[in-house]
A and B are shown apart, each in its own frame.
Chain A
Amino acid sequence: MADNGTTKRLARRDVLKGAAAAATFTILSPSSVRGSAANSKIALGVIGCGGRGNWVTNLFAKHGGYQIAACGDYFPDRVKGFGEKHGVPAGQRYTGLKNHEKLLAGAKVDAVAIESPPYFHPMQAAAAVEAGKHVYCAKPIAVDVPGCLTIGEAGKKATAKKLVFLVDFQTRANAIYQEAVKRVHNGDIGRLVNGVAQYFCGLSFGTTLPGDAEGRLRKWQMDQVLSGDILVEQNIHALDVACWIVDADPVSAAGTGGRKLRKGDGVIYDHFNLVYVFPDETPISFTSRQCGKGPSDIGCFVHGSKGTIDTHYSADVKVLGDTPYAGGNTGGLFQSGCVENIATFHKSITGGVTHNPTVAQSVRSNLTCVLGRQAAYTGQKATWDEMMKSASKLGADLKGLKE
């Protein structure tokens, strides 16, 4: 999944250069185990061989505990390039819309990393768990309510089958974020009053969407359905932190959004403005911009009766007030969070830790984004209960794509 890397703090180009330079990897042992033998590598299949898939696979390889055993993507050129770069045998490379099904049926893998467009995550993750594979899934987990519920069920099934299912949010893996949020949960800022979440960055992905199916799929970040729009696909970083802090489902959302620079039906918005109301009448306002030249920030402040938590992705995280926490700078989080999650995924598989806490958290924040998107698209106040009852499904136009 493409975190766009548009903020200066993320410095993604530098990250990619470093990762590519470090991407030498030698397979030391066969991977027929399910991560139980101490000196065996976990055989990993990567589903989604685009920018994020390649980048995250570099980190899996660098970890040392994984063997990149198989790969899948719709596009043959991407699969070929990925396979050659990461040493995937020719017979373990799969293409087409059903590449994940072919991979799960044909490849000898213990685990899969799902790095495809978000629209496909639920079906791919559910199929992987069904096939007995551990799942490492990029955010967002889905683009609509049914997709979120599918992931929730897949996570429960994974636990029942003693499989690991980890959703890759970098913030939740960071020790400073964890400590700051724990203090809020304990009561260090008192009762929650209100808050602000925001995601500001410059224009990325472009302004228009190709008309043909393959063109849209290649540029899926620009497609409202395949990506879920920027609110679900990108802004979730800020809203996930807000949900984590508040530790509750929102009751409602209202607001607006639109396109100032982007044009065309089905093209993602470039800004959203929303007000969420959480239980105990706790409002959290949210603003995002993915255009313009202003400062970049993925932030969340929540105010309580005795203090404030102040968080910024890849920057300072702290708690202010009666019981302060100096926290620290979370610089480099785009990579360090992912490295941490990859290590946790490995430890969980080898250690049999399968309670999979990231799944329910991700379902909550993903649904929160879907709620806000519904409010902005319709201009009407959207409630959680009504959204969950209607459970509307987004349908992507996949006509013309090869299986």
Chain B
Amino acid sequence: MSGRWRNPCVVAGLAVLVAGCRRGADTPPQPAPTTRIAPAAQPPKPGEVVTNSLGMKLAYVPPGEFVMGSGVDEPGRHDDEARHPVRITRGFHLGVTEVTQGQWKAVSGFNRSEVEGNDLPVSRISWQHAVTFCKQLSRREGRTYRLPTEAEWEYACRAGSTGPFAGTGGADEMAWHMNNSDDVPHPVATKRPNAWGFCDLHGNVAEWCADRYARDYPGAAADPNGPAEGKYRVVRGGSFGHFPRACRSAARASQNPAYQLQQVGLRVVMETPPTENGT
């Protein structure tokens, strides 16, 4: 573990993480209990959470396989969501929440979000801003941070689910979207987390991904990372300003990477170093 990695912590169990993620107006925030762990040669356990120096929580997503895309009967789907199997061969840590304005300001020194608040997700950032933030965070923490690939994003969003939304209650349960948000972003982690503990992958702000966009999913069945060429970058998850159909697990969007949109922010991946057994 690098000397810049200041506060490595792990959550005792996934259920605790899930409880800590859901804090609406009637549910006071419940900080997840954490325990300090020593570096180990073994891979983290699924759902284990580390907290970096910004207080940003990142949960471990183990390697695995899933079916990306939606079935032809899924309401609200578009034709760019063809179902296909995908293998994620390397585990990674993913932000439990979208990057907040407080975290963003601490690293980048500016905040152009239209509605301000330290617990609100940052927005009005270009794709290049998001990439630069990851590089700055990497230097600060001594670990590699980056944007998720589109496949990693959907793998984590689904958390084993196969329907339009990761929960059982549909869009309102999981997402701040156009019909319930009053057209403003909301503090992160105020909707139900998915089965792996991630909050706001559906809705609140949409999230830049690393990939370029193509209507047909190109690339390998294992760890796909998008086409080599293309003008637009992938944006996932929909937002407070989008209809529920745009917040589905399989819904794909793309934007000009130079645009700074009030509905688009980011969530980061922290790369998990390979262990002795290669996972």
- Which residue, of A179, A185, A187, A355, has the highest number of chain B Cβ atoms within 10 A? A187
Known A-B contacts A175-B215, A323-B263, A326-B256; the reply to A187 vs B78 at CB < 8 A is: no
Q: Which 7 A-B pairs have the closest CB atoms?
A: A186-B246, A187-B242, A355-B72, A187-B243, A182-B78, A186-B242, A187-B178
- A187 near B241 with CB under 8 A, answer yes
The interface size of chain B toward A, counting residues with CB under 8 Å, comes to 23
Q: Does A178 contact B (CB under 8 A)?
A: yes
9 new A-B pairs (CB below 8 Å) besides A182-B78, A186-B238, A187-B246? A178-B79, A178-B215, A179-B254, A186-B243, A187-B178, A190-B241, A306-B241, A326-B256, A355-B73
Interface string of B243-268 (1 = CB under 8 A from A): 10110000101111001011100000
- The complex places the Cα of A326 from the Cα of B243 at a distance, in Å, of 21
Which residue on chain B has the smallest CB distance to residue A178?
B79
- A357 near B72 with CB under 8 A, answer yes
- B241 near A185 with CB under 8 A, answer no
Contacts of A187 in B (CB 8 A): 178, 238, 241-243, 246
- B261 near A185 with CB under 8 A, answer no
- The complex places the Cα of A191 from the Cα of B241 at a distance, in Å, of 10
- The complex places the Cα of A324 from the Cα of B259 at a distance, in Å, of 9
Which of A186, A191, A324 is B251 in contact with, Cβ under 8 Å?
A: A186
Interface string of A297-332 (1 = CB under 8 A from B): 000000000100000000000000011101000000
Q: How far is the CB of A329 from chain B (nearest CB, A)?
A: 15
**Could you say which interface size class chain A belongs to?**
10 to 19
Contacts of A326 in B (CB 8 A): 256
Contacts of B238 in A (CB 8 A): 186-187
Which residue on chain A has the smallest CB distance to residue B213?
A179
Q: Which of B223-249 contact A (CB under 8 A)?
A: 238, 241-243, 245-246
Q: How far is the CB of B268 from chain A (nearest CB, A)?
A: 23
- The complex places the Cα of A183 from the Cα of B241 at a distance, in Å, of 12
19 contacts between A and B (CB under 8 A): A178-B80, A178-B215, A179-B215, A182-B78, A183-B253, A185-B76, A185-B243, A185-B246, A186-B238, A186-B243, A186-B245, A186-B246, A187-B241, A188-B242, A306-B241, A323-B261, A324-B259, A355-B73, A357-B79
Q: How far is the CB of B57 from chain A (nearest CB, A)?
A: 29
Contacts of B245 in A (CB 8 A): 185-186
Interface string of B139-159 (1 = CB under 8 A from A): 000000000000000000000
- The complex places the Cα of A357 from the Cα of B245 at a distance, in Å, of 18
- The complex places the Cα of A86 from the Cα of B251 at a distance, in Å, of 44
Q: How far is the CB of B178 from chain A (nearest CB, A)?
A: 5
- The complex places the Cα of A175 from the Cα of B254 at a distance, in Å, of 13
- The complex places the Cα of A357 from the Cα of B78 at a distance, in Å, of 11
- The complex places the Cα of A178 from the Cα of B252 at a distance, in Å, of 13
- The complex places the Cα of A185 from the Cα of B243 at a distance, in Å, of 8
- The complex places the Cα of A178 from the Cα of B79 at a distance, in Å, of 9
Contacts of B78 in A (CB 8 A): 178, 182, 185
Contacts of B246 in A (CB 8 A): 185-187
